[in-house]
Amino acid sequence: MLNQLLLYHMIFSDELVKWYNENKRDLPWRHTTDAYMIWLSEVILQQTRVEQGLPYFYRFAEKYPTINSFAAADEADILKLWQGLGYYSRGRNMLKTARMVRDEFGGKFPERYDDLIKLKGIGEYTAAAIASFSVNEPRAVVDGNVYRVLARYLGINEPINSTAGKKLFQATANDFLNMKNPGLHNQAMMEFGAMLCKPKNPACGICPVRIGCYAFVHNATTSLPVKLSKLKIKQRFFNYFLFTDADRVLMNKRGEGDIWANMYDLPLIETSTLLSPEELFALPETKKHFSERPEIVTISDVKKHVLTHQHLYIRFITIAKQPIEIKQKWGFIKVENLEKLPLSKPIFLFLDNFLN
């Protein structure tokens, strides 16, 4: 019996590659071995579904066809093109990496794992992906798909987000790597996980490797992979002020160390609970910003905006035009220049609705 299982494991990669060749999606980055283009696609696809990232890939590839054109961009330009995709540090790190490649690699994007891993925003997964897809360097990728496929196929109970689990899954992926064609093997593993061995309702009925699969044989696909607890959700209440002056809007540039770093939003008072307008304007922090109590024109309903780790309850308060002194370093932006600024999703939706 054990020998039989080992036999299945030996042809596991071949079966997946065969399945991949017959069922793969036609995606633009699968037609190139250009490390720069592969890097573009891989970073965009970090924690992001293919369907969501695809339009962004096209836009970036068109606007920045070379690493040097990317390196010459401003951070605001990159963030603007990244707008709506989330995890904006990816965009900021890409710019750092692009400039590093331009300045320290002579503008040729690295293709070897050991070079790639040193770059900003490139971790073990992305380095292995770029190296194997571009020059077939034998590095096994381990992403969410690979965790799931291996956990189910081998019946691994170790939590995928524990330190021991990460080491175990990386080692296991290395063992299974097809050394003849690492790039194809990696693509096949991930496509298989994304299309067939899905998180919910995996298509075991048409699975080419189910006969050797622990989870299929033991009916355990719903309990594998194992993942440790979830994080606590923080509740935050954002009171945004809309103050317009002729053809300008008072805007705020966000700092580092919080969500939406270096992006733009409106003047903001954050509270830990939901306050009435009266309570809000009685706050010392609010008074600090306005020399006199602003007149409220309209006040929106509180809208919930869900992030992975926090829930934002956002309210927009439109303030009447009056000769109040703005004491904060907020700045007026002309309406026609708003479209150049990188905006968070809720701010974009609000301004888009307000102005159009």
Partner DNA sequence: AATGCGGGGAA
Partner DNA sequence: TTCCCAGCATT
In whole angstroms, what is the distance from residue 51 CA to residue 77 CA? 23
Kindly state the smallest distance separating residue 343's Cβ from DNA, in Å.
8
Q: Are 236 and 307 in contact (CB under 8 A)?
A: no
Instruction: Give the 3-state secondary structure of residue 126.
Output: helix
Residue 68 token pair: 């040097």
190-229 positions binding DNA, by CB under 7 A: 190-191, 193-194, 199-201, 227
| Contact map string, positions 311 to 350, toward DNA, x by CB under 7 A | ---------------------------------xxx----
Tell me the C-alpha distance between 239 and 319, whole Å. Answer: 12
Residue closer to DNA by CB (options 127, 319) is 127
Under the binding rule (CB under 7 A), the answer on residue 45 touching DNA is yes
Among 41, 132, 134, 178, binds DNA (CB under 7 A): 41
How far, in Å, are 121, 239, 325, 326 from residue 329 at the CA level? Answer: 31, 17, 11, 8
Reference 191, options 147, 228, 153, 146; nearest CA is 146
Question: Is 42 tagged catalytic?
Answer: yes
DSSP string, 145-182: HHHHHHHHHHT--S-TTSHHHHHHHHHHHHHH--TT-H
How many chain residues bind DNA (CB under 7 A)?
Answer: 65
Question: Taking the complex as a whole, how short is the minimal distance between the CB of residue 132 and DNA, in angstroms?
Answer: 12
Inter-residue contact 87 to 46 (CB < 8 Å): yes
User: Which window, 81-89, 284-292, 313-321, 332-340, contacts DNA (CB under 7 A)?
Assistant: 81-89
Q: Which is nearer to DNA, 293 or 309 (CB)?
A: 309
Is residue 321 a contact partner of residue 297, using CB atoms and an 8 Å limit?
A: no
Min separation Cβ 39 and DNA, Å: 10
134 forms part of the interface with DNA (CB under 7 A): no
Catalytic residue among 15, 42, 75, 278: 42
Q: Which is nearer to DNA, 152 or 294 (CB)?
A: 152
Binding range to DNA, per CB under 7 A, among 3-11, 44-52, 173-181, 319-327: 44-52
Among 14, 77, 87, 181, binds DNA (CB under 7 A): 87
CA distances from 168 to 32, 77, 155, 173, 178 (A): 32, 40, 13, 9, 18
Do residues 202 and 221 lie in contact, with contact meaning Cβ atoms separated by under 8 Å?
yes
Question: Restricting to residues 234-273, which ones interact with DNA according to CB under 7 A?
Answer: 234, 257-261
Which residue among 9, 120, 248, 253 contacts DNA (CB under 7 A)? 120
Which of 5, 61, 72, 85 touches DNA by CB under 7 A?
85
Cα 140 to Cα 9, 21, 169, 187: the distances in Å are 16, 19, 10, 10
Closest contact distance (angstroms) between CB of 225 and DNA is: 7
> Does 310 contact DNA by CB under 7 A?
yes
CB of 125 to DNA, least distance (A): 4
138: left (phi over 0), alpha (psi -120 to 50) or beta: beta
Per CB under 7 A, does 62 bind DNA? no
C-alpha atoms less than 13 angstroms from C-alpha of 102 in its C-beta half-sphere: 14
| Per CB under 7 A, 46 contacts DNA | yes
Please answer whether residues 134 and 119 qualify as being in contact, where contact means their C-beta atoms are separated by less than 8 angstroms: no
Binding residues for DNA, rule: CB under 7 A, are 27, 29-30, 41-42, 45-52, 84-89, 93, 119-127, 129, 143-145, 147-148, 162-164, 187, 190-191, 193-194, 199-201, 227, 230-232, 234, 257-261, 305-310, 344-346
Active site residues: 42
